[in-house]
Amino acid sequence: MADMKLPTRSEDFSEWYNQLVLRAELADYAPVRGCMIVRPYGWALWENITAALDQRFKATGHVNAAFPLLIPRNFIEKEKSHVAGFSPELAVVTHGGGEELEEPLVIRPTSETIIGHAYAKWIQSYRDLPVLINQWNSVVRWELRTKLFLRTLEFFWQEGHTAHATSEEAEAETRRMVDVYTDFARNEAAIPVIPGRKSDAEKFAGADITYSLEAMMGDGKALQFCTSHNLGQNFAKAFEIRYLDKNGTLQFCWTTSWGLSTRVVGAIIMVHGDDQGLIFPPRLAPYQLAIVPIFKSDGEKATVMENARRLQRELADAGVRVKMDEREGISPGFKFNDWEMRGVPLRLELGPKDVAKQSVVLARRDRPGKEGKSFVAQQGIAAAVKQQLDEIQQALFDRALAFRNSRTVDAADYEDLKKAVESGFANSWWCGSGDCEAKIKEETKGTMRCIPLEQPGGSGKCVYCGKQASERAIFAKAY
Quick one: which H or E segment has residue 104? strand 99-107
What is the C-alpha to C-alpha distance for residues 165 and 253, in angstroms, rounded to an integer?
Answer: 5
How many separate helices (H) and strands (E) can be counted in the chain? 14, 25
Q: Which is nearer to RNA, 212 or 428 (CB)?
A: 212
Residues 441-460 that bind RNA (CB under 7 A): 441, 445
Distance between CA 438 and CA 444 in Å, rounded? Answer: 10
For 230, the enclosing helix (H) or strand (E) is strand 222-230
Q: Is 157 in the site for RNA (CB under 7 A)?
A: yes
The answer to the question of residue 231 lying near RNA (CB under 7 A) is: no
CB 209 within 8 A of CB 203: yes
* Shortest CB 463 distance to RNA, Å: 19
- Determine if 354 is a binding residue for RNA (CB under 7 A): yes
| Residue 263 CB partners (closer than 8 Å, separation 6+) | 149, 150, 151, 155, 223, 224, 225
Among 276, 303, 423, 433, binds RNA (CB under 7 A): 276
- By the rule CB under 7 A, 257 interacts with RNA: no
- Cβ pair 277, 343 in contact under 8 A: yes
Residues touching RNA: how many (CB under 7 A)?
Answer: 67
80, 95, 296, 310: residue in contact with RNA (rule CB under 7 A): 296
- Pairing mode, strands 447-452 and 460-461: unpaired
Nearest distance from C-beta of residue 299 to RNA, angstroms:
11
Query: Nearest approach, Cβ of 398 to RNA (angstroms)?
Result: 22
Q: Is 392 in the site for RNA (CB under 7 A)?
A: no
Q: Does the protein bind RNA through residue 309 (CB under 7 A)?
A: no
Residue partners of 24: CB distance under 8 A and separation at least 6: 41, 277, 278, 341, 342, 343
Q: Which stretch binds RNA (CB under 7 A): 291-299, 315-323, 387-395, 462-470?
A: 291-299
- What is the rounded CA–CA span in Å between residue 312 and residue 291? 8
The stretch near RNA (CB under 7 A) out of 66-74, 294-302, 392-400, 417-425 is 294-302
**79 or 202, CB closer to RNA?**
202
Task: Please say whether the dihedral angle defined by the alpha carbons of residues 440, 444, 449 and 451, taken in this order, is positive or negative.
Answer: negative
14 binding RNA? (CB under 7 A): yes
The sheet with strand 91-96 has its strands ordered as: 70-72, 99-107, 91-96
Residue 224 touching RNA (CB under 7 A): yes
* Piece of 123-131, 136-144, 166-174, 182-190 that binds RNA (CB under 7 A): 136-144
- Residue 424 near RNA by CB under 7 A: no
Of 380, 409, 391, the closest CA to residue 346 belongs to: 391
Q: Which of 288, 355, 304, 295 is nearest to 328 (CA)?
A: 295
> Which of 73, 117, 161, 263 lies at the binding interface for RNA (CB under 7 A)?
263
Q: Does 261 bind RNA (CB under 7 A)?
A: yes
Pick one of 38, 268, 271, 341: the residue that binds RNA (CB under 7 A). Answer: 341
Using the contact rule CB under 7 A, the part of the chain among 3-11, 249-257, 399-407, 464-472 near RNA is 3-11
How far CA 143 is from CA of 36, 146, 150, 175, in Å, comes to: 13, 7, 11, 29
DSSP state, residue 445: S
Q: How far is CA 179 from CA 5, 175, 314, 391, in A?
A: 40, 6, 36, 24
Per-residue burial over 357-395, b if 16 or more Cβ lie within 10 Å, else e, is: eebbbbbbbbeeeeebeeebebeebeebbbebbeebbeb
Distance CA 127, CA 144 (A): 45
The binder of RNA chosen from 113, 134, 146, 256 (CB under 7 A): 146
CB of 444 to RNA, least distance (A): 10
Nearest distance from residue 146's CB to RNA, in Å?
Answer: 6
Among 218, 232, 259, 345, binds RNA (CB under 7 A): 259
Question: Among residue numbers 98 through 127, which ones bind RNA (CB under 7 A)?
Answer: none
> Which C-beta is closer to RNA: that of 120 or that of 267?
267
Give the interface with RNA as residue ranges (CB under 7 A): 1, 3-6, 14, 18, 29, 32-34, 85, 88-89, 141, 143-147, 150-153, 155, 157, 202, 204-205, 212, 224, 226-227, 259, 261-263, 276, 294-296, 301, 329-334, 336-338, 340-341, 349-354, 361, 363, 369, 373, 441, 445, 478-479
